[in-house]
Structure 1
Amino acid sequence: MNDTLRSPSRQQIFPPMDREAELDRLSLKLRNASGVGMQVLSLLGSQADGLLDMLPTSVRSGLEKATAAALEQSFNAAAASRGGRLGDGSDWLTRAITIGTGAAGGFGGLPSAMAELPVTTTIILRAIQSIADEHGFDPAKPEVRAACLRVFAAAGPLDGDDDLDLSFLTLRMTVTGASIKSLISKIAPRLAIPLGQKLAAQSVPVLGAAAGAATNYAFTSYYQDVARVQFGLLRLAEQTGESPESLTADLKRRLA
């Protein structure tokens, strides 16, 4: 890893890792990431594809734009929150907070769920930045912040597709304002689908608040796991001298 990307709080050298054992560990984490999401679908008695059909046409057509707006707001807000008095919380604390925002968003149906969207996205992105720091990367660096953002390019927790697309792991880290907008434009269409599923779950009559809490828990734990896979892979690339693309290809073979 380039020294300029190191986190000031993580200057120590990480102990050497066994390449094969680490790839096995990361593949297992990625495979299990959607487990909670499948439980949420069981709670709702629905299929992931069916959730999107529950949304009004106007909402479905505006999902990509709303997702891009949420990502743009969150990109700066998450970083700013880490610079203040609010320290990094544990995984469970972050999940507890998003459970609360999800319940509040689902309580008022679709309008409140739409308003809650950028708030929860910011909280999750801030947690991803904390995981970057945990792996020795400095979340204040634009390149690392971009890497945090691209975690959202992974399939959502309600996807349930065994043929995982790992192309998000090899998206290049970008640094300029224009390239961040370009990165968001690439991520938004992919993230719009799982966020649409989340909004639909929160709009379920009577179950809205409970579904909002459950889906937010699933989303938060899922993206935390995906972030640990991505930054674990980058740290392994530093130690072995291999490219992330090569390690990703090996990871995909294990998933297959």
Structure 2
Amino acid sequence: MTTLSMTPEDLADLRYAKSLLENPGLAARITNVVGTPIEKGLAMLPESAHAMIGKATHKALQTALDMAVSTLEEQPQLSSNWLHKTFVGISGAAGGAFGLPALALELPVSTTIILRSIADIARSEGEAIKSPEARLACLEVFALGGPSSLDDATESGYFAVRAALAKSLSDALEYLAKQGITQQAAPPLVRFVSQIAARFGIPVTEKAVAQSLPVVGAAGGALINTLFIDHFQNMSRGHFIVRRLERGYGAAAVKAAYLALP
């Protein structure tokens, strides 16, 4: 299939999705807010801080999924992006006021709100949000936050991430089909969450460094958290547009059309 096989509306949606998915740019947007390149703070971050961020990231992802999705209904409707931005901004004020030590408390709260927003967007794009596949697809969005050395350089960034997660996602779905979502400590789910956490840790670290800067404060922390959720809302919209088109045209055809776009 070529891009010409799609309706003009679907092709426009795919072009929009690609513009979101291939241009994350979270660090650059945060730098514009704080006025200091995030790379400088990352270089000075001690190893103990990296370990703390990794632990907080993993715990936040483990606890957020069921809580976030369970509050949504099945019916498709418009997503409430600004409502979720407001709640995440409030939680980010604590990070800006108290810096890096507040991350362990703030991150599970903001991650749960962000995941609920991701699920809200997924539902608006026609996902059956109570299904195991849709739940894991929501969690998959957190892996779209930063590049990895494991990514295939010949792929687009978006499809490289999906390819890297494909095996653990398939194993997790197979487990959920047999056991349900209550056994979150099961090895297939642990492996999947661990892969997500490794990638989610990149933007979390950028956020944490920015919020720990003395010039940020509570107001700046709220703004940084708003950029943080905006980033994942964009990734989510792009991801679920692609999945919606895949349901209509097939995964291989949509990927070919996506790669053919400039």
What's the TM-score bracket when you normalise by the shorter of the two chains?
0.7 to 0.9
The C-alpha deviation readout for 1:124-174, integer Å capped at 9, x for no partner, is 0011111111111122111110000000111349xxxxx962123454443
Name the count of aligned residue pairs: 229
Matches of residues 1-256 of structure 1 in structure 2 within 5 Å? Answer: 18-31=9-22, 33-34=24-25, 38-82=28-72, 90-156=80-146, 165-166=157-158, 167-170=160-163, 171-172=165-166, 173=169, 174-175=172-173, 176=176, 177=184, 178=186, 179-240=188-249, 242-243=250-251, 245-254=252-261
Distance 1:152 1:248, change over 3 A: farther
2:24–2:235 Cα contact (<8 Å) kept: yes
Give secondary structure in 1 for the equivalent of 2:105.
helix
- Distance in structure 2 (CA, Å) of the matches to 1:54 and 1:117: 21
Gaps of 5+ in 1: 1-15, 158-162
Question: How much identity, in percent, do the aligned residues show?
Answer: 34
Give secondary structure in 1 for the equivalent of 2:234.
helix
The C-alpha deviation readout for 1:235-256, integer Å capped at 9, x for no partner, is 111112x21x55235424435x
Taking only aligned residues, the RMSD between alpha carbons, in angstroms, comes to 2.7
- Distance in structure 2 (CA, Å) of the matches to 1:230 and 1:89: 15
Give secondary structure in 2 for the equivalent of 1:140.
coil
Distance 1:88 1:49, change over 3 A: same
Gaps of 5+ in 2: 1-6, 148-154, 177-183
Larger helix share, 1 or 2: 2
1:106–1:113 Cα contact (<8 Å) kept: no
Tell me by how many angstroms 1:89 deviates: 6.3
2:33–2:224 Cα contact (<8 Å) kept: no
- Distance in structure 2 (CA, Å) of the matches to 1:102 and 1:64: 18
